[in-house]
Amino acid sequence: MAKRSRGRAVWRSPIFWFALAIPTILVLYAGLLYSILPESKGEQLSYTSFIRRLERRDVASPLLLNEDRRVLFKSGGKDYWSSLPTDPARERFLNAAVDQDLRVQVDQQSFKRIILPATQYLIPSLFIGCILVLTFLLTRSDRGGNKGIPRRKSTGESVTFADVAGNDEAVAEVREVRDYLLHPERLAEIGAQPPRGILLVGPPGTGKTLLARAIAGEAGVPFFTASGTQFVEMYQGVGAARVRELFGEVRQNAPAILFLDELDAAGRTRASEATTGQEERDQTLNQLLVEMDGFDRFAGVVIIGATNRPDVLDPALLRRGRFDRQVVVDAPDRVGRLAILKIHARGKRLDPSVELERLAGQTAGLTGADLASVMNEAALLSARRGKPAITPAEVEEAVDRVIAGNERAQVLSPAEKRAVAYHESGHAVVAWALPHADPVTKISIVSRGQALGGRTWMTAEEERVLLTKSELESVIAVAMAGMAAEELVFGESTNGARDDLREATAMAREMVCELGMSESLGRLAWGQQVGSQFLGGDARKVDYSDAMAAEIDREVKRIADEAYSMAARVLQANRPTLDRVAAYLMEKETVRDPELSQMAADVVRLDSGSSGDGQGDTRVTEGMAAVAGSVQQIG
């Protein structure tokens, strides 16, 4: 079966024909100009010289070109021509020819008499008209509603709820939309009103678009999709026109689903003092609000929006009657990751030794898109290495690639390699010694991505949402351990601790400003977080005095200094183990279990009461969910 053309044929577009007409007219114009050029056979003589030769009877075979106002003649056996610019000049020539009984041939040049007006007026007018029409068509094409408006996809999408894993709560929330589209009369009979719009919010790659397609696939209805950026243009009124056209098409194909991706591009909060660009965005948003109000609740049309920035959406979009329900599509937990891995393992030849359950535990914090990339990378690596099936080695390499990036062929000098080995060993030794730190699963001094050196991989035995103050302090101490190891062994640190310091400082500041874990500043929140929680926004709006800012800085520094001192004490107490791990790393470059378990057995561990400030603060927080239950990568 022949493939259908994806787009409209170019030659069917009026813009194509008008663009082709312009050079055609130019060529025609040039040809006409050439055809009406005056004839210039022979040598030119001035009018005075011509009259003198005429009076001497030295002119033979004259030919008068009427439109050109020229006379061609022979004189002394040569060809000449001369202009007769005025009517008196032509009459004098004709009178002299009559007196001399000289036979004059006259060429009326009828062709030029017809073509010359067209050349002077019609052709330039036609050319200008084509330019104007082409400009109008281009402007209309750029501004018109047809550009960028999606075509209706076929009914019966192949994606169903069985293809959506890792977000069972989100699937349960939208399942009733499927039921409404299949049996709208049931809701009408009981008096319930179906949701008019559903807003899917969550980090990138968690499956918001997939969930919307699954609803359409389950209900077997047309699925329309558009991006918020398609409605925002520099031309006034373009976005509103596109919104009207799209909603009109959806109504004609009801029951249907309209999916608006990146809704924040068109639904951003309206400004009080709008600029020209903001006015166009506001008009688009206003039209979107009007169209959503214009739907009959039982018309069989459901609008699904998706965004990573619900914090910037206009409140009018989020009120009841428009987007009635917000569904959070977050990163999956361990059970969800296992289900997602099983889906993406379909059609791939896995070695029996590959344990998806173990892989699900090693990939905490990854989204569905990340997990799909892990399985695909593993398959590509297996094919590249010529293996008949995907083995655990390819899976582990794929996880490293997705999380940390590809290996870099960075040649380290022996001194640099030794510094990196002690840096990573410091992270591992302190993590082994602290009771609240996560287990170390792998240490490597191989450079990946943008990292200057290696990495220490730590994976929690069980995923946690709440972390105590002691656990957060342990995380900061482990981050500081790399620098502490360098200064203990070499007397000074390197620039390899840059990322560690950023992580430790950010965590200490969050403890002080957001979590109320500072005894001197009290259990208060200082500043307001700016930015979407789903995009890792960590900027803060300062709403406190300069004196309080200085106090916050001192408290952040105190927490970081205490964590560094804790890491330094642990490393001094475990210097033999530190040297042993570093030497093994320099030889092998990557260390995994069971070697790690054997080395960890010799570490002098701190008891649970020796971490932190010794006051046993057990307050918990949900603010560090990005750290809890995630694969920690300490550089």
Q: Which residues are catalytic?
A: 424
Residue 162 CB partners (closer than 8 Å, separation 6+): none
Q: Which of 456, 393, 449, 454 is nearest to 428 (CA)?
A: 456
* 156 backbone φψ class: left, alpha, beta (φ>0; ψ -120 to 50): left
Compute φ and ψ for 96, nearest 5 degrees: -65, -35
| Torsion of the alpha carbons at 468, 473, 478 and 480, rounded to the nearest 10 | 160
Q: Which of 145, 175, 187 is nearest to 291 (CA)?
A: 145
CA atoms within a 13 Å half-sphere pointing along the CA-CB vector of 547 = 0
Cis peptide before 255 (omega within 30 of 0): yes
Compute φ and ψ for 374, nearest 5 degrees: -60, -50
What tokens does 81 get? 């021509």
CA atoms within a 13 Å half-sphere pointing along the CA-CB vector of 448 = 23
What tokens does 273 get? 């003092």
Q: What distance, in Å, lies between the first and last C-alpha atoms of the chain?
A: 54
Sequence-separated contacts (24+) of 233-236 with Cβ below 8 Å: 233/142, 233/143, 233/280, 234/277, 234/280, 235/142, 235/143, 235/280, 236/276, 236/279, 236/280, 236/283
Quick check: 372 and 209 in contact, CB under 8 A?
Answer: no
What tokens does 365 get? 């914090």
Distance CA 22, CA 124 (A): 11
Q: Provide the residue count of the chain.
A: 635
Quick check: 219 and 155 in contact, CB under 8 A?
Answer: no
